[in-house]
Structure 1
Amino acid sequence: MTPTHPTSLRFELLLLGVLACLWGSSYLLIKVALGSIPPTTLMAFRVALAALFLLAVMRFRGERLPTDSLSWRRLFVQSLLNSSLAWLVLAWGAQYVPSGLAGVLNSTSPLFVFLITALMGANGNHSITKSVGVALGFVGVVLVVGVDALQGFGQQALAQAAVLFGAFLYACAALNGKRLAHLSPLVTATGTMLWAALTLVPLSIVIDQPWTIRPSLNAMLAATTLSLLCTGVALIVYFRLIKTLGPMGVASQSYLRAGISVLLGLVVLGEQLSPTVLMGLVIIIAGVAMINVPQKKTPSTQLKP
């Protein structure tokens, strides 16, 4: 997919890298925050603060929320696919699935986008180059995470299915996001977070009684960063990229997230970079590049290199 207005492919790919960095670092922040904040309350805090932040940005920019019921119904569906339901399913499954295998399973969103569009008869939009890129990206993730991570595949089948279902929901979110093209990325991000907050905050109150929780300072800092940067800012970028790179392009950031987690391990934990991991990173970058190569169109609709 290419936008109808000229834009720089390099800039959109830079934004894709930014999105991967934001969502790739969210795993580390979640781990820190979960030290003293229960999962449901953490998710509720994440979306509620993000919604308030996005509302403030909207006010500053002079944008308004939609007033028609159709837009709000579509925003509700998007919030389930991209946050509320997806996060709950992934959080439950990740408790019982080794982190390496969970990382591989959670990176399958581009594969699901490819399969869904094939079933819908829309794979004419995917060139051979993009198809090879989808396969390469997944192979790269397996190499980065470690082939040994696949040894547990088939055990704890229900939990693994839950993680896969979460990746499937992310793929559906990328495809469904096109139905919100009439709204700006900021308005779409705000609307989805408002719906997510209305869903998760009551759930948190019932399950965790959050007023009894005494989170540590580090947990609160991690949760706040997770909410403002990895959710609020990230969603604005995400919904922009759905318009410019398309569902497959934006889904390809799930491959890059694996590379980001490795780089964070190098910087934060002092881990070593093995030749296999390095090869996996190169393959991931090649796969993502192939996915996002613009197809030949008329000069007026092409992304500028």
Structure 2
Amino acid sequence: MKNNSKALIILAFFSIYVIWGSTYLLNKIAVTELPPFMLAGFRFITAGVLIFIIAKLLKYKISITKKQFLNCTITGFLFLSFGNGVIVWALRYVDSGFAALEVSAQPLIVILLMFFLEGKKIQSMSLIGVVLGFIGIYLLVSQQHIINQEGSGLGMIMIFLCILSWAYGSLFVAKADLPSNFFVNTGYQMITGGITLIIASLLFREEWVPLSEWSNPVIFSMIGLVIFGGIVAFTAFNYLLRTVSPEKVATTTYVNPIIALILGWYFLNEQITQQSIIAAIVLLTGVYFINTKKKLTMYSRFRSKKSK
């Protein structure tokens, strides 16, 4: 059973590392033709409906309490309505790789929120990992060809607010009363978050594009966003938040930029420089330090006891 659990955790991390890294490219492609809030709302509602259909076929119990529904609505807003919808909006102003790189600040925000809101001590290995992550981010975003893009400043500010939303949502989910079935939990978050995005689309008077006018690249991008980026990866994300510590889950924001950079370069001709490659190595080193924090801490204690 323990081996099965470890295998499931590994597969879940693969989903949020690799699949979510590709969603920046898919959203960038889709937002070139579709309004951002309509795009994100359609994606999440579709994914949520499919999840409930699958849940019914698998005979999962989908009824939940009022408190659980309220918590699903809150997390749906923090993660999807604001945390994702605004990033899709910002992709009109910044490259997909750039957006993913800025989101890499999330592990530091999570750790700081845990310190200020929960009084949790910041371990030295976590600090080293986060510092390395920020060094890598600086090396990437300080490049002139990124900074000089028109509207990038506004995009950066809005993405930072999304980081705060995701970071707080990660802590909220870890303690909130949510449906015990991760699949059903994801479905409610998708539906409530998607509805909020559709309301936002109507309030901002976005001009909707009928499905018949979508190009093939947009259709394929939406399929990938709904099935893999939505159902598979987000279910894995919710599972990990209840299985491992929030700061470990947040390490996805170190790996996602690497995937996003490679895909953006290959499919959208986004530039990757030598400085970007160096920064990527620094970022991945930061992931290593955060993920091996407990092991190194235990080793340090062992060495300390041995020396007494």
The TM-score normalised by the length of structure 2 is 0.81
Please give the root-mean-square deviation of Cα atoms over the aligned residues, in Å.
Answer: 3.2
Change (3 A) 1:269 1:217: closer
Task: In structure 1, list runs of 5 or more residues that go unmatched.
Answer: 299-305
Task: Pick one of 12, 16, 21 that aligns with 1:19.
Answer: 16
8 Å contact from structure 2 (residues 31, 91) kept in 1: no
Q: What's the offset of the Cα at 1:202?
A: 4.4
Local SS of the residue matching 1:123: coil
Shift of 1:120: 1.8
Report Cα offsets for 1:253-296 as digits up to 9, x if no partner: 11111111223245546788654333322222221122122626
Give the alignment of 1:221-240 within 5 angstroms. Answer: 221-240=220-239
Partner of 1:303: none
Which of 161, 166, 180 does residue 165 from structure 1 map onto?
161
SS, match of residue 208 in structure 1: coil
* In the alignment, structure 1 residue 33 sits paired with structure 2 residue 30: yes
Moved more, 203-212 or 246-255: 203-212
| 1:50 counterpart residue number | 47
Cα distance in 1, alignment partners of residues 266 and 274 from structure 2:
17
Letter matched to residue 23 of structure 2? S
Query: Is the Cα contact below 8 Å between 2:186 and 2:235 reproduced in 1?
Result: yes
Equivalent residue letter for 2:262: L
Question: Which of 122, 128, 144 in structure 1 is aligned with 2:124?
Answer: 128
CA–CA distance in structure 1, aligned partners of residues 255 and 113 of structure 2: 21
CA distance in 2, matches of 1:141, 1:12: 27
> What is the one-letter code of the residue matched to 2:263?
L
Contact 1:45 1:223 in 2 (8 A): no
- Alignment check: 8 A CA contact 1:132 1:287 kept: yes
State the Cα distance separating 1:64 from its structure 2 match: 1.9
* Equivalent residue for 2:172, pick from 159, 168, 176: 176
Moved more, 89-98 or 186-195: 89-98
Cα displacement (A) at 1:101: 5.3
CA displacement at 1:12 relative to structure 2: 3.0
Match of 1:302 in 2: none
* Cα separation, 2, equivalents of 1:221 and 1:186: 24
Report the Cα distance in structure 1 between the residues aligned to 2:145 and 2:268, rounded to whole angstroms.
20
* Identical aligned residues as a percent: 23
Shift of the 45–29 alpha-carbon distance from structure 1 to 2, 3 Å rule, reads same
Report if the CA contact (8 A) 2:248-2:290 is conserved. Answer: yes
Report if the CA contact (8 A) 2:12-2:233 is conserved.
no
Q: For each residue in 1:118-141, what CA deviation from the matched residue of structure 2 results, as whole angstroms up to 9, or x when unmatched?
A: 1124332x4211221122123223
Checking the alignment, whether the CA contact within 8 Å between 2:79 and 2:165 is kept in structure 1 is yes
State which of 57, 64, 69 in structure 2 corresponds to 1:67: 64
Partner of 2:303: none
For the pair 1:186 / 2:183, whether they are aligned, the reply is yes
CA distance in 2, matches of 1:158, 1:136: 26
Equivalent-residue separation in structure 2 for 1:144 and 1:160 (angstroms)? 14
Residue 214 (structure 1) shift? 1.6
